[in-house]
Structure 1
Amino acid sequence: MAFIPASDVGAGSFECDIWAQDCPAGMKCMWWADDGGPAWNALRCFDVVDDPNGVGEPCTVVDSQVSGIDDCDYRSMCWEVDPDTLMGTCRSLCHGSEAYPTCDDPCETCPIGGSGFFVMCLPSCDPVVQDCRDDYGCYPQGEGFQCFADASGDSGAPGEPCEFPNVCDPGSACIGAELVPECQGSGCCSPFCDLAAADDCAASIPGTVCTPWFSGGQSNGCVAATVGVCAVP
């Protein structure tokens, strides 16, 4: 197990470029909260621990989820950290540039957010199985699906209006109003379904059937081609 040194953000630390990873040898450029707040808002160089954990392995952060200090290897960070145990999983940072982000794994994608701070390769998930951790959902992202925090709250049920993917309950997608009967918004939540299973879409939203999610029935190879969504025929 790697030993994580105590937090020290004083002399010797400096800002860096998350894409270029331009820190001195033995350090990595990481996000952190320089104001002690709950969200990342700055970048600086942090030491890479001796015997660091690799991508996909369990990891630990120091002090908080946004301290910037973890025991993951160079060009990776501790993600999906439990606020009580401070443990998570090492994930790779994106390669390339903000204009052309890439990931080594073809089934991972790089959703850029947070004013360019958030550039992490996240794995694909199954929208039918919903194999994300608790309080997260498997939502559409680019040509595939990724786990994002469930922001539905008390809304997001099938047939309810939506503007963003993760305001729908996990297991549902935000699709165009023309695809959901009596939709009262620019888009509405509608359940995912399995084209290879019995079609029970009408039980959730009358007038809908299980419709292929992927055009031509061809998936990106990272999720089953049988993924569908309940929509008007």
Structure 2
Amino acid sequence: MDSKTPTSWLCLAFVLACTRGHGDDGTSTGAAGTSSTTGETTTGLAPTTSSTGESTADATAAGSSTSEDTTPGFVPPPDDGTCDVWQSDCPEGQKCAPVSNEDVPFGGSKCVPVVPEPDGLYESCEVLGAFSDGFDTCGAGMMCLDVDLGTETGTCLGLCTGSADVPVCADPDAICLVASPGMLNVCRPTCDPLLQDCISDHVCLPNLQLADAVCFSDASGEEGQVFDPCDFPNDCDPGLICGSSSSASECDPMVNRCCVPFCDTSEVDTCPGQDQVCLGWFPDGVGPPALADLGVCSLPPMP
């Protein structure tokens, strides 16, 4: 296993709570992923607030008064720096970032500055200071996730917009993963496990609850080869998945799980293990048509 941050497992742990996001018109950017604290150092970058008018004292001295917008459905944004991760309601030049709140991982959110010349969707990025503080080099609507502690770089992933009931992803080919209770809502691109067509340093993994396949960070490092022991779905090299050790006689029987290959059910004798066969991954009618031939190598089921 490599130095991918432990929170790379956060979205995997919450994948059962994932819902499909709907792509918008593609004019906005979004991103999300996972990562963990990168250290106690800070960069001096701090949240800023903006003012759109006179101070209260000046207004009072001038004999003027203030009033709230009475437009139906208008909800004034909070003035304490917090924000709505679904609505991205921060002032211009800032973005709404999921942050840790009272020891709850990503239990809150706040407006943070967007850096000059920010990184774009699926581009390489950096976390500035502690990951849980929300500062990074990604643009608005995005978050630097899947951070490698060895290189201190990650990937800008889109944050879901809309609502928990109807999530929206800027990338129309992405799925919204709702996690940590509704604060860390990440858009991850869909993919084909047989093609492994994810961006660099990511692996394509299918999920029955999503009835699709999405890209996650590759946490295999020097290990993760076929029949190697594993613990998490993305502990294995691209083209492999962490399955039951009973899937292959070559796997160590003293471990619970090991890396086994994906396979194409329309092809014959493509599995490397002795007596392995290609078993369909999705039950009939569950997976997307494009993944109808997706299988995983395993020993035949017991009669």
**Partner residue, 1:64:** 130
Q: Residue 31 of structure 1 corresponds to which residue in structure 2?
A: 98
Q: CA deviation at 1:167?
A: 8.6
Which ranges of structure 1 fall in alignment gaps of 5 or more residues?
Answer: 182-187
Q: Please give the root-mean-square deviation of Cα atoms over the aligned residues, in Å.
A: 4.3
Q: How far 1:106 moved relative to its partner?
A: 3.4
Q: Is the 8 A contact 1:112 1:119 kept in 2?
A: yes
Q: Deviation at 1:109?
A: 0.7
Paired residues of 1:126 and 1:145 also in contact (CA < 8 A): yes
Counterpart position of 1:114? 180
Structure 2 length-normalised TM = 0.54
How far off is 1:51 after superposition?
A: 2.5
Separation in 1, partners of 2:144, 2:112: 13
Structure 1 residues 33 and 85: alpha-carbon distance in aligned structure 2, compared to 1, 3 A threshold: farther
Q: 1:191: Cα distance to partner?
A: 4.5
Higher-Rg structure is 2
Q: Encode CA deviations 1:19-45: one digit per residue, 9 max, x unaligned.
A: 02122222211012356x794332111
Structure 2 CA distance for aligned equivalents of residues 27 and 96 of structure 1: 19
Aligned positions of 1:77-226 closer than 5 A: 77-128=143-194, 138-141=204-207, 142-148=210-216, 166=233, 171-172=240-241, 191-201=261-271, 204=273, 206=275, 209-214=277-282, 220=288, 225-226=292-293
C-alpha displacement of 1:62: 0.5
Q: How much identity, in percent, do the aligned residues show?
A: 34
Q: Which has the higher helix share?
A: 2
Residues 106, 132 of structure 2: 8 Å contact kept: yes
Give deviations 1:173-217, integer Å, cap 9, x for gaps.
669x9xx79xxxxxx98742123544244x6474x6323435669
Give the one of 44, 61, 66 matched to 2:110.
44
Distance in structure 2 (CA, Å) of the matches to 1:88 and 1:23: 24
Q: Classify the secondary structure of the residue corresponding to 2:137.
A: coil
Quote the residue 1:6 is aligned against: 44
Pair 33,91 (structure 1): closer, same or farther in 2 beyond 3 Å: same
* Higher normalized contact order (CA 8 Å, seq sep 6+, divided by chain length): 2
Give unmatched runs, 5+ long, in structure 2: 1-42, 50-78, 221-225, 249-256
For 2:170 and 2:286, the matched residues in 1 are separated by 22
Does the residue aligned with 2:296 lie in a helix, a strand or coil? strand
The separation in 2 between residues aligned to 1:50 and 1:73, in whole angstroms, is 9
